[in-house]
Every structure is written in structure tokens, then in C-alpha cells.
Chain A
Amino acid sequence: MAEVTQLIHHYLRHNKRFPHVLCPGCGHGIVLGSLVRSVHQLGLTKDEVVLVAGIGCSGRIAVYVDFNTVHTTHGRTLTFATGIKMANPRLKVIAVMGDGDALSIGGNHFLHAARRNIGVTALILNNNIYGMTGGQSSSTTAENCYSTTSPYGQQEQSFDIVELAKAAGAPYVARSTVLHVKLLDRIITTALARPGFNLVEVLTPCHTQFGRKNKFKTTVDMYKWYKKNAIPLDSLSKLPQEEQNQRTPIGIFVEENRPSLEERYAAITCRLEEASK
């Protein structure tokens, strides 16, 4: 416990007015905890970390941590992060986004950040709903789920963030739930240590806006559902095909090495400088 207290004192802001905006049972705090542990484990200094966040509940977690923090506009987090990383590649840039943020309004930026392999660790906190604005459906709200803008059930197919990131060319793609904290710590630490665009999708429950509309009586029911539904990627293939489609695989989906955009850019500037001598 003492160690946790130390981490809190070291990494959370002292002059920020608490309490935070997150609801009881929200999984976002767990992601923040995991992020802080990963930064600590890698020995990164607070000055070199830039936490860029979008709009929504996930966007608000930037304000609590004592890094360089930028709370941006809705969906544009990765554009700011791209500018920051290109301007100063020595900074460790972390983008924290929600599902509506990264995939709906910011879908285009997400695809291009993955394609250009900019050196940013992107955390998408996927709660399948627009939480802050009051429970509207997002592009990851599953078919037939209820929300305030799909009162008769969602009729659109939802995005699979992992598949999307893979198709767009991200060299590191991983997924965990907030219940699988050891896995979460491991993949965030790995992602932070790697160059290039690293995507971590975190499934995090929103009981207030999603659970209550979709037959989850308590927050605990949602965590139980995550526990039941999530399955490690390597165990997935052992299941019969029909069951495979109903489960959500977690783990590391892609882990490749490709030079990041800022590395390639530096190589070009070096080459030009050599040529001009």
C-alpha cells in the first residue's frame, strides 16, 4: 500500500481540485493507474512525458497527472500528438482517447496516425458509449444495444478497433480490459517502450450510461461480463468456431518493428545535411 501512496504523491497533481469527474465503478481510473505504473517502471521522467487527451470522460484524466498535459479538441488528439512528436521527438507522447473520440469524430486521424507510424502511444478507452454527453451510441456500440440515441436498439454495425488498427498498418496492436490489470500493465509498458505508433485498446465499463440501459443491474455485473467474455488470444483458437465469434480476444495482436515517421524524417534531414557539405 505504501508504494501506491508514493506513486500517487509523485504522479498526481497536488494543486488540482479533487474529487475527479469519474463515476463510481468507472474503469478509467484503473487505466490511469496502469499508465502511471508503466511510466514508473520504465523510469521515464515526468518532464519528458506528454499526455495528450481528447474530449469526453477519458479526456479528463489528463488533468490529474503531473506530466505535461494537453487536453485537446474532440477527436483531434492524434493531430496534436503528431505535431508535438515531430516538433520534439525526444518527448514521450501518449494519446488518451475515448471510443467516440478516436473512432467516430477522429476516425480519419486515427487511420492516418497508424498509417504514418508516428511515435505516439495511443490508448483508446473503449466503453462503447458516449459517457460524458449522456449515453449516446458511438461507432463501437454493439448492434442491438440501447443508448439514448438508439432507443430501439443500435442498427449499425460497430467498429472493431483492433482490426481497424491492423488494417491501417499500426506496428503494435494490443487489447485488454480493465479487469485484466496485469495484462494491461504489461501491454502499456511494452507500448511505451517501443518506437512508432502503438495502439492499446482498453475495454472499460460505463455502468452509468451503458450498463443501466443494457440490462446490467450493477457495475459488478459489467466486470463479471468482461471476465466471462474476454479470452486470451492464444486460447481463442481452441474454442469451437461459433463460440469464437461471441468472445472478445485480448492480448497482443500485432508486434512488428518498423521505423517511425520521426526516425525516417531524421534520416532524410541527415542525408540532406551530408549532401550539402
Chain B
Amino acid sequence: MKPPYEIQRFELRLSGLGGQGILTLGKVLGAGLALEEGYFVAQTQSYGPEARGGASRSDLVISSQPISYPKPEQLDLLVALSQEACNQYYRHLKQGGYLLVDDSLVKQTPTNIYWGLPFTTLAKEKLGMVQAANMVLLGALAHLVPFVVPRAMKKGLETSLSPKFLESNLKAFQLGMTQAKKKYPNVQTQWTSF
């Protein structure tokens, strides 16, 4: 299987608080890209001792070549689901890197060039399920990032989730994608290379 995009080394960080589903999201995203699309993916994580509320982080390095060093050094994309995470990791973003925040939680962004969508609010109000914010985010990523292909992500969800949760998660995914498309319709042309 040959991946459709040639990726040199793309470094992505998902960050926020424990309990926001960041580790699950990293796993689903990584599995989709590695198993369905055939990229090399190294996903690492870092978390505090608390199961809920502490800082949480999931890093993905994505490439068309085998990955030697598994940790990100200069982020191509930072996703921040808390103000603290945004403040802490913004400096790791490389020049020209992209920032995506949950703008219902991150009130101050360090730059005016960013993508913002209220994942948590959307999940709470449109789905009545705040825990689905991570899948809303995944849906948004599927629109914003060219190599995150919706079909692959959905397939990844199908294999990693039990049927009981699949429907609600797919609904959240769809919501995220629609909202992102509405707010940033022409985003895909922004990308030049990876």
C-alpha cells in the first residue's frame, strides 16, 4: 500500500487535560494513518499521575519513510484543548506551523493566525455529550489536514470501537467535519508541502 501523500516528517501534538480523550484520539488517529493509509507513525504520550484533570499530551510523528527518532522536535501542527497547553507548547511550533485550538477553552491565542473551533461546546450542545469533543476534533482534523482522510479515520473507528459507541462517535466525527468545512472552506489549498 503506497500512501497518497509523500510526507517527509510531520510532527503533530495533541495537548490538553486528562479526561479530554487526548490519548484515545492519538491512538485512533495514529491507527488510521498507519493501518489504513500505510504511513509510518510513531505515537508517544506523556501524562501526569492523575487520571483526570492533569496535563495530557499525545505526540505523533508521521512520515512516508521509517521513523528513527520517535519524539517531535519542531511541531508542524499543535492542537491545544486548554489555555495552559497552548501557552506551554506554542513555542515548540515551527515557523509556519499550524495551531488549532478549542476556542471555547482557549481564550487567548499567542498569534492571530490559528484555527479555532469550539469542540467542547459543540459536543455538549449539539450532541449532549461532552466526552465526544475528541471525536469532533478528529472530524475537524479530517477536513483541515489533507492526509487525514475521513474514510480511513471512520474505518479506524470501526475497528477500534465497540458497536455500542460507534454510532455516537461517528456522529461527533461528522459534526466536527461539517463545522470545520463551514468555517474554513478553502483550507486545503493552504498546504504546500509536509
* A and B touching (Cβ–Cβ under 8 A): no
| Residues in chain B within 8 A of chain A (CB atoms) | none
| Residues in chain A within 8 A of chain B (CB atoms) | none
